[in-house]
Chain A
């Protein structure tokens, strides 16, 4: 998985609780991304980062926030989890923007009860 780890790998939580997912890379890539994957849908971008403290919204950013204080770490926070946020979350990295290939982590399966 191209030097990308995600933690936790599985999490079950209750509606209304805050949740933070972590992505850690050892490739020193500039760009990092958070996606969610749901049945019947392709991967959908939540937020992305183009450098330390530089982030922006993706297609499905409502209810999510991110932070990147170090090159190697990108955090995704659900401030108040809802059942609609039950999904598999993938982190991806790429060296540059443009048409550079994205490499994915192993994923985190989140269940919100």
Chain B
């Protein structure tokens, strides 16, 4: 079946360095992807999204890259800060009826920022 996954379950980076979190997807027809951040004890928080007609999208300190050829997403965080420590999920839509949609979520990558 179709699935969304992550290459690395954990990632440790030094404060101030850049972080890169990767995600592979298997549905070549997927046309929209979202990155969420989940801090300990909280619900997932929307970070940034990208549509398949784009290769790159930038937000505040975050950039998402989409490589449709190899079905790969990455989230880049510039100048990583302690507040960036969290679990990061990628998600793609899964249409399952005429009324709505669901997202398929990866299990997440835990980002730890070292002082």
Interface residues of A (CB under 8 A from B): 1, 4, 31, 33, 40-45, 48, 50, 54, 56, 58-59, 90, 97-99, 101-107
Interface residues of B (CB under 8 A from A): 4, 31-32, 34, 36, 41-46, 49, 89, 91, 93, 97, 99-108
The 3 A-B residue pairs whose C-beta atoms are closest, nearest first, are A42-B105, A104-B43, A97-B100
Pick the residue among B32, B43, B100 that contacts A48 (CB under 8 A): B100
Known A41-B107, A42-B4, A43-B105; contact A101-B100, beta-carbon cutoff 8 A: no
> Can you list 19 A-B pairs, Cβ within 8 angstroms, ordered by A?
A40-B107, A42-B4, A42-B89, A42-B91, A42-B105, A42-B107, A42-B108, A44-B105, A48-B100, A50-B100, A56-B97, A97-B99, A97-B100, A99-B31, A99-B101, A102-B46, A104-B36, A104-B44, A107-B43
Q: What DSSP secondary structure best describes chain B's contact surface?
A: strand
Q: How far is the CA of A95 from the CA of B42 in the complex (A)?
A: 21
